[in-house]
Amino acid sequence: MFDTESTKAVLVGIAVLAVACSSGDDGQADASASAGTAVPAGTTAVAEDGAASGFEEEYTLAQQFDLSINLISSTFNETKRIPRKYSCTDGDISPPMTWSDIPEGTVSIALLVDSDQHPGPRWVHWMLWGIPPAAGGLPEAVPNTPEATSIGPKARQGTNSEKMVGWSGPCPQPARVPFSSGRPSNTRDLVRQYSFKLFALDTEIELGPEATKVDLLRAIDGHILAGGELTGEQVGKIIRF
């Protein structure tokens, strides 16, 4: 979902798109929001307290920065959904990813993954910070522990919307369709978007495992040298009744 033209889209908030798995085999995604769409300034980040309980507060990043980091995954992209193994219905492990073009002066890197899989505030799937600037990427299946020492000595993970530390995979609500009906006419209604957002920072972040999305955004605001995004989709399953 990023703009790779010479003039980078300036981001005031955090933009989101993501790639995901279909209810069947891994394959080509249905026509989705096109890559390279500029994200409007002032995008709002909202504190999560579960889909049912709404939100506690709202937070908007005040800082502007360029989307100049190239963030990719070997397992999914803007046209290939996230494989089932990374979702809540299968292995529920974090996907691998790599990045490049980290700016000079970067002290640490942070990652935030969220989605629109539930109504209301965006659902948080993963928060990881303290990644060394020379890391160049993340392996598959990062352990769900407060300290991610396999990534770096200062790497830490926060609390997602499932109230767990570490990764919580895509898990969109299924669509209920009567047995007498065919496939829903508009399957786009079943598509959920997942966003992987990377931040190059000029400082180390000091947060504990209880940290939420809002805590992370507050800590990095004013310290972002550049950002990067990776987008994709997941399609909810169809349940006959």
Question: What's the domain count of the chain?
Answer: 1
Per-residue pLDDT of the chain (241 residues; tens, 9 = 90+): 444 443 344 333 443 333 333 333 344 333 333 233 233 233 344 433 334 343 445 678 899 999 999 999 999 988 888 898 999 988 999 999 999 999 999 999 999 999 988 888 899 999 999 999 999 999 999 999 999 999 999 999 999 999 999 999 999 877 666 666 555 555 666 778 899 999 999 999 999 999 999 999 999 999 999 999 998 887 777 666 6
Residue 2 near residue 68, CB atoms below 8 Å? no
Length of the chain equals: 241
Identity of the residue numbered 82: I
The SS3 of residue 213 is helix
Structural domain including 21 reads: 1-241
- The whole-angstrom separation of Cα 131 and Cα 21 is 27
Separation CA 117–CA 125 (nearest Å): 10
Sequence-distant (6+) residues with CB within 8 A of 30 are 187, 188, 191, 233, 235
Which pTM was predicted?
Answer: 0.74
Report the sign of the C-alpha dihedral through residues 239, 120, 223, 156, in that order. Answer: negative
Cβ atoms within 10 Å of 113's Cβ, excluding its own: 26
How far apart (Å, rounded) are the C-alpha atoms in residues 138 and 233?
Answer: 20
DSSP 216: H
The CATH number linked to 157 is 3.90.280.10
SS3 content of the chain, % helix, strand, coil (to 5): 5, 30, 65
What gap in Å lies between CA 123 and CA 142, rounded to an integer? Answer: 20
